[in-house]
Amino acid sequence: MILYASAGNVLVWMVWIGAGFACLASGIAVVSFSNPFYSALALIGNLGSLAVLYLLLSAEFVAAAQVLVYAGAVMVMFLFVIAYVGPRMETPPWKSGPSWQSVAATLAAGSIFIEVIVAVSLKAGGRLKHSEHVGSTFGTPGWIGRLFLTDHLLAFEITSIVLLVAAVGGVILGSHARRASA
Partner 1 sequence: MLQGPGIAWYLGVAAFLFGTGALGVLIRRNPLIVLLSLEIMLNGGNLALIAFARHAGNGAGQIFALTVMAVAASEVCVGLGLVVAIHRRRLALDVDELSELRG
- Contact positions with partner 1 (CB under 8 A) in 66-105: 66, 69-70, 73-74, 77-78, 81-82, 84-85, 88, 90, 92-93, 101-102, 105
Q: How far is the CB of 177 from partner 1 (least distance, A)?
A: 4
Q: Which CB sits closer to partner 1, 97 or 159?
A: 159
Name the minimum Å distance from CB 86 to partner 1: 8
Q: What are phi and psi of 90, to 5 degrees?
A: -130, 130
Smallest gap from residue 58 Cβ to partner 1 (A): 6
- Give CA–CA dist 41/75, Å, rounded: 8
* Cα gap 55→49, rounded to integer Å: 10
To partner 1, the closest distance from the beta carbon of 3 in angstroms equals 14
Q: Decide if 39 contacts 88 (C-beta within 8 A).
A: no
Contacts of 137 (CB under 8 A, 6+ apart): 143
In the list 18, 57, 141, 157, the residue contacting partner 1 (rule: CB under 8 A) is 57
Other C-beta atoms closer than 10 Å to the C-beta of 38 total 15
Count, residues near partner 1 per rule CB under 8 A: 89
The helix, strand and coil proportions of the chain, stated in percent and rounded to the nearest 5, come to 80, 0, 20
Q: Could you give the string, one character per residue 140-179, with x where binding to partner 1 holds by CB under 8 A and - elsewhere?
A: ---xx--xx--xx--x--xx--xx-xxx-xx--xx-xxx-
Which residues have CB under 8 Å from 166's CB, separation 6+? none
Which of 2, 95, 96, 133 lies at the binding interface for partner 1 (CB under 8 A)? 133
50 binds partner 1 (CB under 8 A): yes
